[in-house]
Amino acid sequence: MRRTALPQHREVSVNGITMHIAEQGEGPLVLLLHGFPESWYSWRHQFQPLAEAGYHVVAPDQRGYGGTDQPSDVDDYSIFHLVGDVVGLIHALGERQAVVIGHDWGAPVAWNTAMMRPDLVRGVGGLSVAPAPRGPVPPLVAARQRFGDGFYQIYFQEPGVADAELNRDIRSTFRKTLAATSGESDSSAATPTAPAGGGFLSAMPEPEKLPSWLTEADIDAYTEQYQRNGFTGGLNWYRNIDRNWALTAPWQGAPITAPALHITGERDLVRGFYPPDYLERLPEQLPGLRTVLDLPGCGHWTQQERPDEVNKALLEFLAGL
């Protein structure tokens, strides 16, 4: 019986914080950046295939998450801090370059790292979230006009409110959130909104049965990891959305020139945020785009829902660099 190697864990000093990382393998560095509400664990299916193919695979708990420090100031979660963490991590690992792949919130960090520090990024990829052109007005202003005051990103803005709701029952928060936005859910592609007088979880039923790709042991792992810091660190990323828009003005219209990959799920709720032809228009921002994978029936949790297809695409992309 073949033994499955497990990633190793350690802490590194990065950009003024102590960061927890999981890592496996030796070779060229591949950074895997998780989203919200996740951790390094969301990449559990990617470690062994990439490591066996000859890569040093590193998935951190990003700033404010899991075993990594959670600064108390909301301003310490700007896109400059998040990109700075990736730059610091590359250097802390003794490397000069990396391939940077992100899912959900990790994708904007990957895209911005490639845009701001192209010298450090050999290749870049985003799962679920594509690079978005910087618009003429702050993003939350546009979101409120389009989706209303209940849109989840707006609901997340008031410090302490969503924090208390999501922290009330961490296990239930993960069961509801991961199940409701899975491709196996009837409501997977629905725009998440908090009803008047309700919260983010109000419209999400407690699932009687978990999706086929998710186990109670997975829920246990996330629950345990969130016992330390809760959800406030991740929510603080959302509280910098409009600030990030202001800070990134110098990169207005700048292309992301590194070799690029984008993977999306047909039933991913994020698809509703983009124009219908956004896949066809990706080369406008990604002139080095090499791979686009659109997964039928897949929801938001791309690399967890469809690990085999994602791993195949990542390995082909990496081999071509």
Q: What is the mean pLDDT of residues 99-113?
A: 98
> pLDDT tens-digit profile of 64-78?
999 999 999 999 999
Q: Which of 194, 279, 102, 241 is nearest to 85 (CA)?
A: 102
For 102, the token pair is 């992100």
CB 79 within 8 A of CB 18: no
Active site residues: 104, 300
Across residues 177-183, what is the average pLDDT?
A: 96
Q: What residue type is assigned to position 321 of the chain?
A: L
Instruction: Quote the DSSP letter at residue 78.
Output: S
User: pLDDT by residue (tens digit) across 249-301?
Assistant: 999 999 999 999 999 999 999 999 999 999 999 999 999 999 999 999 999 99
Q: From CA 99, how far away is CA 113, in angstroms rounded?
A: 10
Of 221, 253, 232, 237, the closest CA to residue 102 belongs to: 237
Query: pLDDT tens-digit profile of 113-165?
Result: 999 999 999 999 999 999 988 999 999 999 999 999 999 999 999 999 999 99
Task: Note the pLDDT of residue 2.
Answer: 46
Q: What local confidence, expressed as pLDDT, does residue 187 receive? A: 81
H-helix or E-strand spanning residue 115: helix 106-116
Beta-strand runs (E) in 148-259: none
Residue 1 confidence (pLDDT): 42
What is the band of 106 on the pLDDT scale with cuts at 50, 70, 90? Answer: very high
Quickly state the pLDDT bin for 5 (edges 50, 70, 90): confident
**Whether the predicted pLDDT of 37 surpasses 90:** yes
Confidence at 4, pLDDT banded by 50, 70, 90:
low
Residue 20's DSSP bridge partners are: 11
- How do residues 194-232 score in pLDDT, each as one tens digit? 988 899 999 898 999 999 999 999 999 999 999 999 999
Mean pLDDT of 8-12: 98
The amino acid at residue 62 is Q
Kindly give the pairing relationship between strand 56-60 and strand 17-24.
Answer: antiparallel
pLDDT at 56 exceeding the cut of 60 = yes
Mean pLDDT, the chain, as a whole number?
96
140 touches 152 (CB < 8 A): no
